[in-house]
Amino acid sequence: MQRRSRLLRSADFDRTLRAGRRAASEYLALFVSDNELGRPRVGLAVSKKLGNAVVRNRIKRRLRELVRPLVTRAKGGRDVVIVARARAVDAEFARLRQEIEMLWAKGWGE
């Protein structure tokens, strides 16, 4: 993902997690809040409870790959935080794709 499409500041993460709309499944939780930039930004949160660095980075790589096409076709300025849950560690890629597309549609209001 391009740097301009990423949520980088912890204040933006906190604002989105606190005040954002929520959608959740057994694999992921998605938080969405409006921003004034006119373009979407995405941040990923993977807890240390889910595993060591290798496991966490694998989850993040998979999620980034799944989110990339969603961000490019998204309209409007919104910040999105995707939080991985414990079941995401062993989830198949196709299942994660279904979950993230369903949650994205719910959170985006489509």
Tens digits of pLDDT across the chain (110 residues): 777 778 888 988 899 989 878 999 999 999 998 888 888 899 999 999 999 999 999 999 999 999 999 888 888 888 899 999 999 999 999 999 999 999 988 887 65
For the chain, how many residues are written? 110
- Buried/exposed 41-76: b ≥16 CB within 10 Å, e otherwise: bbbbebeeeeeeeeebeebeebbeebbeebbeebee
Q: Identify the structural domains of the chain with CATH numbers, from first to last.
A: 3-108 (3.30.230.10)
CB-CB contact of 81 with 17 (8 Å): yes
